């Protein structure tokens, strides 16, 4: 017997998660910021705006009313873009059911406060909801999940039983979850890899080869781990699905929006022109600013992330950013 699922956020990833739950015979309601997207889902059984080409089953419907989305739900996904999570979940707070898992699947760090999504949610939600928060991250392109390509991810919660409950409710024959209690590690891996993916895309846009991409992935993981450990994460988490797994995916996969942004930077486009042509959010653009400021605050050396910030916010050409990395003073590898 299925359960009642609410999904907050009708972008590609929110739609894919809703689809994942609906094909397991659960009743799914997804909240869309734009009423026309909700109407599109109900009328055409397809999210033509953000996730075209994927048929949505009859037990999957849309709404522009948060109260309707959340009424009597037994599982809730929070999948708004990271910069919108604070405002959206503040509005959702009065409608959230108590005692059910709330799964954050947004990846990013808030620009203004430098808070992760767990910190944002604990800031805006009443304390009664805090024990039920869980955080999902891993190498999961939305379209491949919807196409039933076998996919794996991590779900972290401060209470192991909450993570295990989510694992049981969400896992399927094509989507397998592993549990963790390392919220900081799972969250930061999912956010930081988007910044490194922009760097990998820039290298590809410059015509550089696989040596360069492999180096960026490896050294990118090193700086991701440094910041995550400084914030209390287990370094082994960064070697797992939400760290190395997601990093490899977004640095090499053609469906990666962040890699695409980097590739266009490498080809000489300005970030304003790149964003203008994008319908969906590339989280790494905003996260790069947060990571730059967070690394400075925490006194963590993150040279690749710093050069991504400079490409995005100081108009430093990609070739110059690569040169700056190669000219750095020579180091020991385990630094």
pLDDT tens per residue, range 116-171: 999 999 999 999 999 999 999 999 999 999 999 999 999 999 999 999 999 999 99
pLDDT at position 81? 94
pLDDT at position 1? 65
Distance in angstroms (rounded) separating the CA atoms of residues 103 and 80: 12
Query: What is the pTM (predicted TM-score) of this model?
Result: 0.96
User: Domain residue spans in the chain?
Assistant: 4-181, 184-326
Reply yes or no on domain 184-326 having CATH 1.20.81.30: no
pLDDT at position 279? 75
Q: 280-284: long-range contacts at Cβ-Cβ below 8 A with a sequence spacing of 24 or more?
A: 280/11, 280/12, 280/50, 281/11, 281/81, 281/83, 281/257, 282/194, 282/198, 282/257, 282/258, 283/81, 283/82, 283/107, 283/108, 283/191, 283/194, 283/258, 284/194, 284/195, 284/197, 284/198, 284/258, 284/308
pLDDT at position 335? 65
Is 193 one of the annotated active-site residues of the chain?
A: yes
**312: nearest Cα among 208, 194, 152:** 194
Catalytic residue, chosen from 71, 107, 161, 193, is: 193
Distance in angstroms (rounded) separating the CA atoms of residues 63 and 38: 5
The string of pLDDT tens digits covering residues 39-50 is: 999 999 999 999
Q: What fold, for 4-181?
A: Rossmann fold (3.40.50)
- Show the low-confidence residues of the chain (pLDDT under 50): none
């Amino acid at each position: 017997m299925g359960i009642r699922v609410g999904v907050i956020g009708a972008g590609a990833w929110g739609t894919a998660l809703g689809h994942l739950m609906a094909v397991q015979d659960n009743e799914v309601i997804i909240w869309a910021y734009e009423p026309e997207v909700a109407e599109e889902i109900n009328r055409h059984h397809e999210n033509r705006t953000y996730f075209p080409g994927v048929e949505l089953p009859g037990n999957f419907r849309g709404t522009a009313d948060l109260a309707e989305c959340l009424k009597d739900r037994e599982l809730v996904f929070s999948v708004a873009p990271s910069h919108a999570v604070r405002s959206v979940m503040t509005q959702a707070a009065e409608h959230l059911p108590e005692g059910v898992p709330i799964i954050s699947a947004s990846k990013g760090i808030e620009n203004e406060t430098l808070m992760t999504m767990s910190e944002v949610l604990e800031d805006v939600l009443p304390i009664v909801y805090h024990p039920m928060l869980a955080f999902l991250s891993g190498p999961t392109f939305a379209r491949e999940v919807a196409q039933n390509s076998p996919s794996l991810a991590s779900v972290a919660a401060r209470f192991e039983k909450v993570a295990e409950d989510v694992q049981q409710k969400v896992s399927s024959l094509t989507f397998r979850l592993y549990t963790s209690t390392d919220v900081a590690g799972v969250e930061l891996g999912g956010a930081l890899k988007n910044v490194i993916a922009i760097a990998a895309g820039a290298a590809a846009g410059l015509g550089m080869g696989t040596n360069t991409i492999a180096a960026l992935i490896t050294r990118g993981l090193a700086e991701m781990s440094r910041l995550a450990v400084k914030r209390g994460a287990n370094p082994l988490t960064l070697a797992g699905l939400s760290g190395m797994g997601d990093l490899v995916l977004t640095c090499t996969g053609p469906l990666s929006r962040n890699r695409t942004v980097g590739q266009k930077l490498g080809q000489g486009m300005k970030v304003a022109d790149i964003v203008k042509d994008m319908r969906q959010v590339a989280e790494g653009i905003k996260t790069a600013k947060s990571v730059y400021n967070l690394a400075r605050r925490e006194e963590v050396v993150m040279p690749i992330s710093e050069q991504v910030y400079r490409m995005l916010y100081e108009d430093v050409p990609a070739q110059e950013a690569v040169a700056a990395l190669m000219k750095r003073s020579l180091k020991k590898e385990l630094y």
